[in-house]
């Protein structure tokens, strides 16, 4: 007696991707509702099962759908926006400013639908995501019919979807509670990374993951820099540090794991954690070479992910699988490393296990959900076919297959693509909407790029507004007379400082953009002859003077100032100056009162270039009238300090030195 099923696939090269790498040719798979009920030889299954629909696969490969083990799908909308940049410039200079401006539930929905279309086309049936407004990712993925682990981001910074960590944690709880039993979506919590979360956040997210028994998705040990920082701050590598916060009590999915040692691998193994390897992303961002062969030898479930399409720049798992195999060979110096069957296992069975979904998907076995794809291995770029060994079939897919060879995709027993036609998504509409968003982002960035000031503002952080300053500067030959004169009774010294100032000035093609100064102040403790601390600031200087008074006392408009939280290298790559000039000086600085008015007195020794000594007298001002009064006082002070005979200098130091 035959039993009834919905669909019987016949005449296929069935790669089950089960743990024995069982193949059937001509093979068959029987699907009833959302599940696979039988896999085997065609002749056997034809006897046992009668189907509402029988599909002749015409010799194509029938295999489990691919598992994209780590991504940020809404970032399809930022694909190709900025490339060939260092991670910090890319993230702080482009991604985060644009995300602050554009990311919304609608943006997330559109980006996810685009990503689903691209992933279905390339044979992905399950993906593991981390982004903002993750509930909208979940809705879109479920509408598209894909299986997805959806991780709501939690981190210590304000995010596009949450003003604080508490808000995002609450969002995550509510989302998980609502979606817990969905047939396609596995809600999850995603503390972004150890360096963007506090220990408290790691513990709190692990608690939520345990409470609801859902996965915890995070980035771990992606760069050497991260490992170094965690080691400096906490005295241990990344994996022991996050273990200490209890995250391994949850079902962890650890993306990257580029810089971990064999002890850390064992920790992950004992914790039952899954790993997501991201070959393209690790290469393109120069993060390093993950020790994939060692991780597999340790027994870890290592899946493969595309990472977000803004850094990769696509969601092509065929490319990732091939690259995983290639890189493993090159870094172990052994072409037999990570052979094709295992590379493909990483993208299927091992990937599903890494996501803690091994019981549901990742291989074609009776009882699992019907997540499967048909791949044509007969196109020109993959012909001819050899059948001498079982491994030939895996090598065809891994070493010469293209995502465009996927013709049909079923998830949870439901067709998402047949004969290259998407059934759940309208590509043209999505593309039109995406083009509209891209136009807005282009306009936003073009506007911003037009001015150094707007690029500075886009970086965020606290930025002082413009102010006006009265100042006079004279060249002097000796400093002792000035220092002595500062002790006169009419001058009240409030405080005294000693800095060494290292300035780098950026010049731009368009002089009206002004100059950008990156200054490091080394605070010198003269008693102990040590630098007590260093302060870095960024200042945008205009070229114009606002006014001039007697004795060459100037009124200048000063100048956007922000703390320089990034490195000089960051600002160089972000602002792309046409040239740079370095100036170093030794500065003695007094804050004084003279006739009840505060002035700064700077006694500067120019060291690079060696230009001798200068005296500067400065005071902030807020009105024209106040400025006139202070200009008068500054002029008097010059005399009090015995410097009125010195050569008056009306230029900034950078103008004295000039552009090189």
Residue 585 tokens read as 């000086």
- Of 123-131, 141-149, 388-396, 477-485, the segment contacting a second copy by CB under 8 A is 388-396
Beta bridge partners of 422: 417
Residue ranges in 569-628 that form contacts with a second copy under rule CB under 8 A: 573
Parallel, antiparallel, or unpaired: how do β-strands 23-32 and 66-71 relate?
Answer: unpaired
Nearer to a second copy, 81 or 199 (CB): 81
User: Contact between 25 and a second copy (CB under 8 A)?
Assistant: no
Q: Least distance (Å) from a second copy to the CB of residue 254? A: 21
Beta bridge partners of 396: none
Nearer to a second copy, 385 or 650 (CB): 385
Nearer to a second copy, 51 or 425 (CB): 425
Task: Please classify residue 472 by burial: count the beta carbons closer than 10 Å to its beta carbon, then call 0-12 exposed, 13-18 middle and 19+ buried.
Answer: buried
Residue ranges in 519-578 that form contacts with a second copy under rule CB under 8 A: 573
Q: What CA–CA distance (Å, rounded) separates 340 from 152?
A: 34
Closest CA to 268 of 301, 236, 231: 301
User: Contact between 508 and a second copy (CB under 8 A)?
Assistant: no
Q: What CA–CA distance (Å, rounded) separates 438 from 415?
A: 31
User: Contact between 323 and a second copy (CB under 8 A)?
Assistant: yes
Nearer to a second copy, 356 or 448 (CB): 448
Residue ranges in 441-470 that form contacts with a second copy under rule CB under 8 A: 441-442, 445-446, 449
Neighbours of 436 (CB within 10 A): 10
Residues near 388 by beta carbon (within 8 Å), at least 6 away in sequence: none
- Of 17-25, 110-118, 259-267, 492-500, the segment contacting a second copy by CB under 8 A is 110-118
Using CB under 8 A, pick the residue from 100, 387, 420, 624 that binds a second copy: 387
Q: Least distance (Å) from a second copy to the CB of residue 439? A: 8
Neighbours of 362 (CB within 10 A): 31
Q: What CA–CA distance (Å, rounded) separates 650 from 395?
A: 73
Before 414, cis peptide (omega within 30)? no
Using CB under 8 A, pick the residue from 282, 361, 556, 619 that binds a second copy: 282
What is the largest distance, in Å, between two alpha-carbon atoms of the chain? 115
User: Contact between 396 and a second copy (CB under 8 A)?
Assistant: yes
User: Contact between 509 and a second copy (CB under 8 A)?
Assistant: no
Residue 370 tokens read as 């019907």
Contact 140, 109 (CB under 8 A): yes
Residue ranges in 332-351 that form contacts with a second copy under rule CB under 8 A: 332-337, 339-340
Phi, psi of 284 (to 5 degrees): -65, -35
Using CB under 8 A, pick the residue from 130, 255, 395, 554 that binds a second copy: 395
Neighbours of 462 (CB within 10 A): 8
Residue ranges in 222-281 that form contacts with a second copy under rule CB under 8 A: 280
Q: Least distance (Å) from a second copy to the CB of residue 226? A: 14
Beta bridge partners of 582: 504
Closest CA to 123 of 380, 306, 357, 326: 306
**Quick one: CA torsion of 337, 341, 347, 352, rounded to 10 degrees?**
-110
Phi, psi of 144 (to 5 degrees): -75, -15
User: Contact between 288 and a second copy (CB under 8 A)?
Assistant: yes
Contact 233, 274 (CB under 8 A): no
Q: DSSP states of 361-376 as a string?
A: SSS--TTSB--EEEE-
Q: What CA–CA distance (Å, rounded) separates 107 from 532?
A: 47
Residue ranges in 128-167 that form contacts with a second copy under rule CB under 8 A: none
Contact 132, 153 (CB under 8 A): yes
- Of 1-9, 12-20, 228-236, 312-320, the segment contacting a second copy by CB under 8 A is 312-320
Using CB under 8 A, pick the residue from 121, 256, 277, 517 that binds a second copy: 121
Residue ranges in 407-436 that form contacts with a second copy under rule CB under 8 A: 427, 431, 434-435
Using CB under 8 A, pick the residue from 1, 20, 84, 610 that binds a second copy: 84
Using CB under 8 A, pick the residue from 41, 48, 167, 391 that binds a second copy: 391
Using CB under 8 A, pick the residue from 313, 363, 558, 635 that binds a second copy: 313
Q: What is the DSSP letter of 22?
A: -
Using CB under 8 A, pick the residue from 117, 137, 254, 265 that binds a second copy: 117
Using CB under 8 A, pick the residue from 156, 231, 284, 497 that binds a second copy: 284
Using CB under 8 A, pick the residue from 285, 346, 354, 372 that binds a second copy: 285
User: Contact between 400 and a second copy (CB under 8 A)?
Assistant: yes
Nearer to a second copy, 125 or 312 (CB): 312
Nearer to a second copy, 329 or 414 (CB): 329
- Of 49-57, 76-84, 541-549, 610-618, the segment contacting a second copy by CB under 8 A is 76-84
Query: Count of residues binding a second copy (CB under 8 A)?
Result: 76
Contact 262, 298 (CB under 8 A): yes
Nearer to a second copy, 27 or 279 (CB): 279
- Of 23-31, 316-324, 471-479, 629-637, the segment contacting a second copy by CB under 8 A is 316-324
Residue 160 tokens read as 């596009």
């Amino acid at each position: 007696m035959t039993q009834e099923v919905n669909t019987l696939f016949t005449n296929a090269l069935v790669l089950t991707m089960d743990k024995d790498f069982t193949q059937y040719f001509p093979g068959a798979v029987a699907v009833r509702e959302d599940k696979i009920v039988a896999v085997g030889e065609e002749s056997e299954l034809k006897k046992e099962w009668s189907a509402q629909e029988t599909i002749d696969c015409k010799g194509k490969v029938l295999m489990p759908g691919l598992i994209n083990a780590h991504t940020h799908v809404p970032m399809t909308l930022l694909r190709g926006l900025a490339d060939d940049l260092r991670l910090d410039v890319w993230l702080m200079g482009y991604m985060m400013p644009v995300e602050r401006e554009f990311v919304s539930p609608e943006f997330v929905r559109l980006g996810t639908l685009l990503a689903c279309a691209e992933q279905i086309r390339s044979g992905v049936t399950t993906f593991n995501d981390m982004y903002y407004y993750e509930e909208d990712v979940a809705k879109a993925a479920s509408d598209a019919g894909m299986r997805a682990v959806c991780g709501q981001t939690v981190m210590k910074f304000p995010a596009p979807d949450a003003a604080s960590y508490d808000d995002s944690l609450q969002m995550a709880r509510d989302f998980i509670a609502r979606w817990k039993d969905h047939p396609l979506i596995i809600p999850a919590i995603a503390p972004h990374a150890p360096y963007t979360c506090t220990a408290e956040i790691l513990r709190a997210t692990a608690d939520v993951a345990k409470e609801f028994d859902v996965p915890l998705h995070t980035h771990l040990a992606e760069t050497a820099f991260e490992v170094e920082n965690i080691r400096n701050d906490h005295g241990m590598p990344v994996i022991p540090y996050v273990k200490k916060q209890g995250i391994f009590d949850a079902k962890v999915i650890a993306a990257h794991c580029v810089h971990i040692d064999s002890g850390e691998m064992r920790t992950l193994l004992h914790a039952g954690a899954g790993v997501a390897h991201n070959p393209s992303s690790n290469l393109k961002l120069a993060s390093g070479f993950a020790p994939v062969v060692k991780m597999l030898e340790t027994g870890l479930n290592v899946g493969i992910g595309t990472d977000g399409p803004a850094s990769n720049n696509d969601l092509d798992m065929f490319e990732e699988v091939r690259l995983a195999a290639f890189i493993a060979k090159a870094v172990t110096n052994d072409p037999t490393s990570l052979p094709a069957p295992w590379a493909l296992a990483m993208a299927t069975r091992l990937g599903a296990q890494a996501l803690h979904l091994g019981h549901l998907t990742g291989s074609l076995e009776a009882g699992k959900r019907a997540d499967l794809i048909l791949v044509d291995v007969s196109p020109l770029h993959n012909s001819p076919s050899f059948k001498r060994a079982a491994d030939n079939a895996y090598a065809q897919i891994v070493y010469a297959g293209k995502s465009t060879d996927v013709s049909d995709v079923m998830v949870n027993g439901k067709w998402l693509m047949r004969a290259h036609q998407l059934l759940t998504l309208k590509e043209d509409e999505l593309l039109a909407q995406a083009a509209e968003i891209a136009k807005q982002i282009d306009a936003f960035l073009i506007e911003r790029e037009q001015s150094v000031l707007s690029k500075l503002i886009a970086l965020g952080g606290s930025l002082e507004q413009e102010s006006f300053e009265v100042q006079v500067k004279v060249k002097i030959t000796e400093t002792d007379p000035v220092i002595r004169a500062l002790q006169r009774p009419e001058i009240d010294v409030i405080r005294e400082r000693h800095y060494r100032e290292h300035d780098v000035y950026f010049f731009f093609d368009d002089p009206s953009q002004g100059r950008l100064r990156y200054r490091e102040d080394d605070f010198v403790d003269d008693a102990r002859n040590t630098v007590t601390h260093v302060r870095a600031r960024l200042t945008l200087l205009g070229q114009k003077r606002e006014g001039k008074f007697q004795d060459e006392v100037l009124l200048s408009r000063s100048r956007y100032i922000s703390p320089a939280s990034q490195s000089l290298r960051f600002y160089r790559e972000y602002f792309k100056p046409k040239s740079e000039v370095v100036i170093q000086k030794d500065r003695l600085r007094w804050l004084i009162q003279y006739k009840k008015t505060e002035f700064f007195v700077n006694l500067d020794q120019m060291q690079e270039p060696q230009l001798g000594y200068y005296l500067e007298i400065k005071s902030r001002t807020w009105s024209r009238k106040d400025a006139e009064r202070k200009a008068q006082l500054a002029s008097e002070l010059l005399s009090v300090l015995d410097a009125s005979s010195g050569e008056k200098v009306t230029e900034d130091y950078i103008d004295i030195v000039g552009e090189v």
